[in-house]
Structure 1
Amino acid sequence: MTAISISARQGVPEDALSDGAAIDLERLCGAPGDGIRVAPAVDGIERIEARLHGKFFEPHRHDTYAIGVTLGGVQTFQYRGESRFSNPGSIIILHPDEIHDGGAGTEIGLRYRMMYLQPERLLAALDETDRSLPFVAAPVVGDEALRQAVGEAVMDLDNGIDELALDDILVRIAEGLYRHAGTKDAKPAKADKRAVLQASEFLRANLERPVGSQELEAVSGLDRFTLARQFRRVLGTSPHRYLLMRRLERARQMIARGESLAGAALETGFADQAHFTRHFKRAYGLTPGRWASLAVAG
C-alpha cells in the first residue's frame, strides 16, 4: 500500500498520531485491504473513508470536529474516559482537541466515512442567536436528519460539493450539533419571504448555469447561511435542491417533447449525462431513459 500523509488538522491517522507527523499507512495497516481513502478537500473540509481491522489508531487529538458515519462493522474507541461503540448508521461526533483512539470492535473489520470540519466554519453556519461552539457530550448519536446531512457531505468522495449544497449541509450539521449539545432553543426567527422569493426567482432565471452563493447573497440581501435557513423555512427545501429540481423539471419536459437525453442534460446545466442520470433517478426513482420511453408510450 502506498504511504499517504494526513495532516494533524484533519484529525490525523484516520487520523491517528501525534501532531503534525506524516503517517505511513503501510506501517499502520494490520490486515490486507486496510486503508484510508482521502477525498479532494472541499473549501477546507477534509473527507475520508477508512477500512481497517483491529486496534488501528493510538490516542491522539485534532483541532477540528470529526463527524462521520459508521458504514460497516462496529467502531470502538476511548473518549472522555469511557469505551464507546458505533454501529452501522450511527453518527460519530468528536469535539476538537478531545483525545481518542480507534479501531474495529469485531473480527469482520470496520468501514466508515468521516469529515473534518474546522470550528470557524461551523460558527459561521450557526444561527445569529447563538455563536458559542456546541459541545456534544455523547460522541455516538442516532439522528436521521443529521445522518442525512453528513451523508450528503461524504457520499461522493470522488468529487467536490456544489457551493449552494455545502451551505445547506453546514447549516443542517450546525443545527444538529446545536440540538445534541442540549443548548436551550432560541426564539424562532421570522420568515423573510421577500428575500426567499427574490432568490428563488433568480434561480429559476439561471437554470442553465452554476449559481454561486455570493450571487444569491447580493440578490436576497441575506448572508448565505441565513438564506439557507430562511429558504427551508419558507419553501421547505434548500436553494441548491430548489435549483436542482427546477433543472430536472425542465429536462423532463424537454425529454417528453422528444429531445435527446444528452441535449436535455446539457441545456439544463448538468456537467454530463451521468451526472444528470444520477440526480434524475434520485429525484424520480427511474432513469431518464426509462422516463423517455414511458413519456412516449403515454
Structure 2
Amino acid sequence: MEKGRRDEIRLWTDRQILGGLELLQARFLDFRYPLHSHDVFVIAAFRDGAQKHRIARHHGVAYPGSVMVIPPGEVHTGESAERNGGWEYSALYPAPEALEALSGELSRAPRGRLDFGRRLLIDAPDLAAGLIDACDVAHRSPDPVARAEAVYRALDAIIQRHGQRTGGGAFRPPPNARLRPALDHIRAHYADPLRLSDIAGQVGLSEFYFMRTFKAQMNVTVHGYLTQVRLEAAKALLVAGTPAAEAAIATGFYDQSHFTGSFRRYFGVTPSRYATACR
C-alpha cells in the first residue's frame, strides 16, 4: 500500500477480471475524498472504524459489516466519522455492462437494467466479509483464475441477494437532453485546452447560467467534471503502460506535477504507484 501521513492505500486494475476491474484496499485516517463520481458501480465493504459520507444529498455513516453500493454517476464524498478514528474498507468498481453479464441468470425481474434499489448501506456482515476476502485474494494471489473466481463469488452473492431490475436504483435522474451536447463536448475534447465559453456555447447558454445549470443537474462543478473525465482517461492510459508524463499531456493536464497532484487528491495514490500496482 502507498502510505501517506497516516493512510495506507492500495488501488489497482486487474485486466484479468471482467475485462479490467479496478479494486481498492485502504485504511484512512487523514484522507478525505473530494466530491466526485464514477461511470461504474462502487461496491464497498467496511472492515473497521467508521466512515462519514455524502452520496447525492444523502448523509450517513458506514460501520464494519456494512456494504455500500453507489450507482454510476452518483456524486459522493467520504471521510473519517471520528477525529483520529479512521476507517478501513475494500471496494470493487465494476462497469454496469460487466454486472449485467454476471446477472444474466437473474430471473426475478427479467426487464430493465440491473440496480440495487435505493438503499445506500446494507447491513450484511457475511456479504461484507466475502467482498473483503475477494479483494485480499485479488491482491495476494498470482493465479488469475483464483483472483477472478474470488471476485465473481463476491459479486454474485450481492447480486443474488440485492440485485433487481426495477430501474429505480439511481438517486439522480439523467441530465436533461439540453445538457447532453456539453457533456459530449467535454468527453470528446477533454485533452484540449477547453474554455468555459466553448462548453457553454454547445448548449447556447451564458457562462454564468451554464455553470449554475450544470451544478444543479450534475451535483458537481464543470471543472470538477472535466477533471474527473481527464483522470479516468489517464487511468486507462496508465493501465495500458503509458508513462505518467505522457498520460498527463495526453489527457489535458498542464504538466506532470498538476496531474500527479490531481490524481493523488482524487484517489489517494500517485499515478506511478497506481500503474505499478496494475496487472
Structure number, greater radius of gyration: 1
The TM-score with structure 2 as length reference comes to: 0.49
